[in-house]
Amino acid sequence: MNIEPILVLRVLLRRWWLIVIPVAIVAVIVVPDFLNDGSAVSGGFNAVIRYTAAQEADAVPERDGDLQDLWLASELTVNAFTEWVRTTRFKEEVALITATNGLEINPLSLPIGADNQRSIGQVFINWHNDAELQIIANAALEVLQTRNQAYFPQLGGQPASVEILDDPQIAPVPPPLTDRFSGILRLAIAFIAGIGLAFLVEYLDPTLRTQDDLESLGLKVMVLIPKK
């Protein structure tokens, strides 16, 4: 059965209030999120630490070599540190230091990542609070620079030299796309639900309003009485 556009329009105009109700209810929930200035940073905050590392010269066993060996040793050190930063032990060390600064953290809840490229190491830390993230980033720097010899015996018991290339900058993380458009999506679903509700009520309503309603029942209209 084909539904004429004019009939659809009549139903929507007649039952418009049924479409507005679910949209209004959802709008009450999502509009404050749109107006909230903090929504732009709902993804939390991020800090990136870039560094280089190399074993101290006086801790390197005497051997014949050249500058290429030194660069290769530095690259291997950064590679090893990258894997170390990803471990639970590194997070535990960070949590111990933050605790001394009044910030108690479960090490397993610390989202710390690491990567390296061309002998440059990178540490990535995400956290929901920017002030607390600064404490965590400083703790990660301290562990990186002062505790590495406890995990790598090849360093000869002496900490490797870790040079920070730039201070960690705390920056807001944009919220996920699903969060950004969830409000619009919920309004769209409410609008579609309202249209469906309007047609459902129209289908269940036994009231006859127009000539078409009568003719759809097989009745012939003999005369029409004008409104005026």
- What CATH number did the domain enclosing 160 receive? 3.30.70
CA terminus-to-terminus distance, the chain: 34
Phi and psi of 102, rounded to 5°? Answer: 85, 10
Which tokens in the block code for residue 164?
């920070």
| Same domain, yes or no: 76 and 168 | yes
Domain that holds residue 24: 5-38+177-215
Contact 20, 207 (CB under 8 A): no
Q: What pLDDT was estimated at residue 71?
A: 79
Contacts made by residues 87-95, CB under 8 angstroms, sequence distance 24+: 89/151, 90/143, 93/143, 93/147, 94/136, 94/139, 94/140, 94/143, 95/139
Residue 221, in any domain of the structure: no
- Check whether residue 65 and residue 25 sit in a common domain: no
Whether residues 52 and 157 fall in one domain: yes
For the record, the structure tokens of 136 come out as: 């965590």
Question: Which pLDDT does position 59 carry in this prediction?
Answer: 55
Asked if 127 and 194 sit in the same domain, the reply is no
Residues 183 and 119 in one domain: no
Query: Do 53 and 106 have their domain in common?
Result: yes
Q: Are residues 54 and 149 in the same domain?
A: yes
Nearest to 17 by CA among 187, 195, 208, 204: 195
pLDDT at 35: 64
For residues 21 and 134, membership in a common domain is answered with no
The total of structural domains in the chain comes to 2
CB 53 within 8 A of CB 121: yes
φ, ψ of residue 71 in degrees (nearest 5): -65, -40
Q: Which residues contact 162 (CB under 8 A, 6 or more apart)?
A: 51, 52, 53, 81, 144, 145, 148
Same domain assignment for residues 163 and 72: yes
Q: Is residue 134 part of a domain?
A: yes
> 23 CB contacts (<8 Å, ≥6 apart)?
187, 190, 191, 194
Separation of alpha carbons 147 and 201, rounded Å: 71
Q: What is the pLDDT of residue 172?
A: 87
Say yes or no: 128 and 28 in one domain. Answer: no
Would you state the structure tokens that stand for residue 114, as one six-digit string?
A: 């690491």
Q: How far apart are CA 195 and CA 173, in angstroms?
A: 37
pLDDT values of the chain reduced to their tens digit, one per residue, 228 residues:
455 787 788 888 888 888 999 999 988 888 776 666 444 445 689 999 999 998 876 655 555 555 557 778 888 899 999 999 999 999 999 999 999 999 999 999 999 999 988 789 999 999 989 999 999 999 999 999 999 999 998 888 889 999 999 888 888 887 666 666 777 888 899 999 999 998 898 888 777 677 776 676 677 777 777 776
The model's pTM is 0.61
Q: Which of 226, 74, 97 is nearest to 162 (CA)?
A: 74
Max Cα separation, the chain?
Answer: 114
